Structure 1
Amino acid sequence: MISLQIGDEVTYQNKMLNSMGEDFDKTGDILGGTIKKLGQIARSPNGWWMLWLMAFVVVVVMYMILSRLF
Protein backbone atom coordinates (compact mmCIF):
# COMPACT_ATOMS: atom_id res chain seq x y z
CA MET A 1 0.00 0.00 0.00
CA ILE A 2 2.68 2.49 1.01
CA SER A 3 4.94 1.42 -1.85
CA LEU A 4 2.16 2.22 -4.34
CA GLN A 5 1.75 5.69 -2.83
CA ILE A 6 5.51 6.24 -3.01
CA GLY A 7 5.48 5.15 -6.66
CA ASP A 8 2.63 7.57 -7.42
CA GLU A 9 4.49 10.40 -5.68
CA VAL A 10 7.69 9.66 -7.59
CA THR A 11 5.77 9.67 -10.89
CA TYR A 12 4.16 12.99 -9.98
CA GLN A 13 7.49 14.53 -8.98
CA ASN A 14 9.11 13.38 -12.24
CA LYS A 15 6.32 14.99 -14.26
CA MET A 16 6.78 18.24 -12.34
CA LEU A 17 10.55 18.19 -12.90
CA ASN A 18 10.10 17.57 -16.63
CA SER A 19 7.63 20.44 -16.83
CA MET A 20 10.05 22.74 -15.00
CA GLY A 21 12.83 21.79 -17.41
CA GLU A 22 10.66 22.69 -20.39
CA ASP A 23 9.70 25.99 -18.77
CA PHE A 24 13.36 26.85 -18.14
CA ASP A 25 14.18 26.06 -21.78
CA LYS A 26 11.39 28.35 -23.00
CA THR A 27 12.52 31.12 -20.67
CA GLY A 28 16.11 30.74 -21.87
CA ASP A 29 14.97 31.07 -25.48
CA ILE A 30 12.98 34.20 -24.69
CA LEU A 31 15.89 35.70 -22.76
CA GLY A 32 18.27 34.95 -25.62
CA GLY A 33 15.99 36.74 -28.07
CA THR A 34 15.73 39.71 -25.73
CA ILE A 35 19.51 39.93 -25.42
CA LYS A 36 19.84 39.93 -29.24
CA LYS A 37 17.30 42.74 -29.51
CA LEU A 38 19.11 44.76 -26.86
CA GLY A 39 22.34 44.29 -28.82
CA GLN A 40 20.63 45.67 -31.92
CA ILE A 41 19.41 48.68 -29.94
CA ALA A 42 22.90 49.28 -28.54
CA ARG A 43 24.41 49.29 -32.05
CA SER A 44 21.85 51.76 -33.37
CA PRO A 45 22.37 55.53 -33.22
CA ASN A 46 21.58 56.79 -29.71
CA GLY A 47 21.07 53.17 -28.67
CA TRP A 48 23.04 53.53 -25.45
CA TRP A 49 20.65 56.20 -24.25
CA MET A 50 17.75 53.82 -24.83
CA LEU A 51 19.52 51.09 -22.86
CA TRP A 52 20.16 53.48 -19.96
CA LEU A 53 16.51 54.54 -20.04
CA MET A 54 15.35 50.90 -19.94
CA ALA A 55 17.75 50.13 -17.09
CA PHE A 56 16.43 53.13 -15.17
CA VAL A 57 12.84 52.00 -15.65
CA VAL A 58 13.70 48.47 -14.48
CA VAL A 59 15.44 49.82 -11.37
CA VAL A 60 12.49 52.08 -10.52
CA VAL A 61 9.98 49.25 -10.97
CA MET A 62 12.09 46.89 -8.85
CA TYR A 63 12.39 49.56 -6.15
CA MET A 64 8.62 50.03 -6.13
CA ILE A 65 8.03 46.28 -5.87
CA LEU A 66 10.62 45.77 -3.13
CA SER A 67 9.45 48.80 -1.14
CA ARG A 68 5.97 47.27 -0.94
CA LEU A 69 7.34 43.93 0.23
CA PHE A 70 9.44 45.33 3.06
Structure 2
Amino acid sequence: MRRARDGYAYQPIPKVATEDAVAHENDQMAEELSGKISTLKHMSIEIGNEVRYQDKILRGLDDDVDRSSGFLGKTMGRVLRLGKGNHNYYVFYLFLFAIFVFFLLYIVLKFR
Protein backbone atom coordinates (compact mmCIF):
# COMPACT_ATOMS: atom_id res chain seq x y z
CA MET A 1 0.00 0.00 0.00
CA ARG A 2 1.32 3.37 -0.93
CA ARG A 3 1.19 6.29 1.33
CA ALA A 4 -0.92 9.31 0.59
CA ARG A 5 2.05 11.66 0.81
CA ASP A 6 3.46 10.34 -2.50
CA GLY A 7 0.51 11.82 -4.30
CA TYR A 8 -1.27 8.51 -4.66
CA ALA A 9 -4.49 8.05 -2.80
CA TYR A 10 -5.46 4.47 -2.02
CA GLN A 11 -8.76 3.44 -3.55
CA PRO A 12 -9.89 -0.13 -2.93
CA ILE A 13 -11.63 -1.99 -5.75
CA PRO A 14 -15.33 -1.86 -5.14
CA LYS A 15 -16.88 -5.28 -4.57
CA VAL A 16 -19.99 -4.44 -6.57
CA ALA A 17 -18.03 -3.90 -9.79
CA THR A 18 -16.10 -7.14 -9.30
CA GLU A 19 -19.27 -9.10 -8.64
CA ASP A 20 -20.92 -7.56 -11.71
CA ALA A 21 -17.93 -8.51 -13.87
CA VAL A 22 -17.94 -12.07 -12.55
CA ALA A 23 -21.70 -12.33 -13.04
CA HIS A 24 -21.38 -10.97 -16.59
CA GLU A 25 -18.59 -13.44 -17.37
CA ASN A 26 -20.66 -16.29 -15.92
CA ASP A 27 -23.62 -15.25 -18.09
CA GLN A 28 -21.43 -15.23 -21.21
CA MET A 29 -20.01 -18.64 -20.38
CA ALA A 30 -23.51 -19.98 -19.69
CA GLU A 31 -24.68 -18.74 -23.11
CA GLU A 32 -21.68 -20.38 -24.81
CA LEU A 33 -22.35 -23.61 -22.94
CA SER A 34 -26.01 -23.47 -23.90
CA GLY A 35 -25.04 -23.08 -27.57
CA LYS A 36 -22.66 -26.03 -27.38
CA ILE A 37 -25.28 -28.16 -25.66
CA SER A 38 -27.86 -27.37 -28.35
CA THR A 39 -25.30 -28.23 -31.04
CA LEU A 40 -24.56 -31.57 -29.33
CA LYS A 41 -28.28 -32.27 -29.03
CA HIS A 42 -28.78 -31.60 -32.74
CA MET A 43 -25.81 -33.82 -33.61
CA SER A 44 -27.06 -36.68 -31.44
CA ILE A 45 -30.51 -36.47 -33.05
CA GLU A 46 -28.92 -36.60 -36.51
CA ILE A 47 -26.76 -39.57 -35.48
CA GLY A 48 -29.88 -41.37 -34.24
CA ASN A 49 -31.67 -40.71 -37.52
CA GLU A 50 -28.68 -42.00 -39.49
CA VAL A 51 -28.49 -45.15 -37.35
CA ARG A 52 -32.19 -45.87 -37.93
CA TYR A 53 -31.76 -45.34 -41.68
CA GLN A 54 -28.71 -47.63 -41.85
CA ASP A 55 -30.55 -50.27 -39.79
CA LYS A 56 -33.44 -50.16 -42.25
CA ILE A 57 -31.05 -50.62 -45.19
CA LEU A 58 -29.28 -53.53 -43.49
CA ARG A 59 -32.57 -55.26 -42.72
CA GLY A 60 -33.54 -54.97 -46.39
CA LEU A 61 -30.17 -56.36 -47.43
CA ASP A 62 -30.59 -59.26 -45.01
CA ASP A 63 -33.99 -60.07 -46.52
CA ASP A 64 -32.53 -59.95 -50.05
CA VAL A 65 -29.70 -62.31 -49.07
CA ASP A 66 -32.17 -64.74 -47.51
CA ARG A 67 -34.26 -64.77 -50.68
CA SER A 68 -31.16 -65.23 -52.85
CA SER A 69 -29.87 -68.11 -50.75
CA GLY A 70 -33.26 -69.82 -51.01
CA PHE A 71 -33.27 -69.39 -54.78
CA LEU A 72 -29.69 -70.65 -55.03
CA GLY A 73 -30.48 -73.66 -52.85
CA LYS A 74 -33.40 -74.63 -55.09
CA THR A 75 -31.27 -74.24 -58.21
CA MET A 76 -28.47 -76.36 -56.78
CA GLY A 77 -31.02 -79.03 -55.85
CA ARG A 78 -32.25 -79.09 -59.45
CA VAL A 79 -28.70 -79.35 -60.80
CA LEU A 80 -27.89 -82.23 -58.44
CA ARG A 81 -31.10 -84.00 -59.36
CA LEU A 82 -30.26 -83.49 -63.04
CA GLY A 83 -26.78 -84.93 -62.47
CA LYS A 84 -28.17 -88.03 -60.75
CA GLY A 85 -30.47 -88.79 -63.66
CA ASN A 86 -29.89 -91.40 -66.33
CA HIS A 87 -29.00 -88.80 -68.92
CA ASN A 88 -25.40 -87.89 -68.20
CA TYR A 89 -25.21 -85.84 -71.37
CA TYR A 90 -27.02 -82.97 -69.61
CA VAL A 91 -23.93 -82.21 -67.56
CA PHE A 92 -21.88 -82.18 -70.74
CA TYR A 93 -24.38 -79.85 -72.41
CA LEU A 94 -24.33 -77.60 -69.35
CA PHE A 95 -20.54 -77.47 -69.50
CA LEU A 96 -20.60 -76.59 -73.21
CA PHE A 97 -23.20 -73.89 -72.56
CA ALA A 98 -21.03 -72.37 -69.82
CA ILE A 99 -18.00 -72.31 -72.13
CA PHE A 100 -20.10 -70.68 -74.86
CA VAL A 101 -21.36 -67.98 -72.47
CA PHE A 102 -17.84 -67.20 -71.22
CA PHE A 103 -16.54 -67.04 -74.80
CA LEU A 104 -19.38 -64.71 -75.78
CA LEU A 105 -18.68 -62.45 -72.81
CA TYR A 106 -14.98 -62.42 -73.71
CA ILE A 107 -15.75 -61.28 -77.26
CA VAL A 108 -18.19 -58.63 -76.14
CA LEU A 109 -15.83 -57.19 -73.55
CA LYS A 110 -12.81 -57.31 -75.86
CA PHE A 111 -14.44 -55.35 -78.68
CA ARG A 112 -16.24 -52.88 -76.47
2:54 paired residue number: 13
Q: What stretches of structure 2 of length at least 5 have no aligned partner?
A: 1-41
Task: Name which structure has the greater RCO, CA cutoff 8 Å, separation 6+.
Answer: 1
Return the letter of the residue paired with 1:56: I
Moved over 4 A (4+): none
Q: Secondary structure at the match of 1:33?
A: helix
1:43 is aligned to 2:71: no
Taking the TM superposition and a 5 Å limit, the aligned residue runs for 1:51-66 are 51-64=94-107
Is 1:41–1:50's contact at 8 Å kept on the other side of the alignment? Answer: no
Residue identity matched to 2:81:
Q
Asked which structure has the greater CA Rg, the reply is: 2
Higher deviation after alignment, 51-60 or 35-44: 51-60
Please give the TM-score of this superposition, normalised by the length of structure 1: 0.76
1:34 matched to which residue of 2? 75
Structure ranking higher in helix proportion: 1
Q: Figure out how many residues of one structure are paired with residues of the other and give that number.
A: 68
Q: TM-score, normalised by structure 2?
A: 0.51
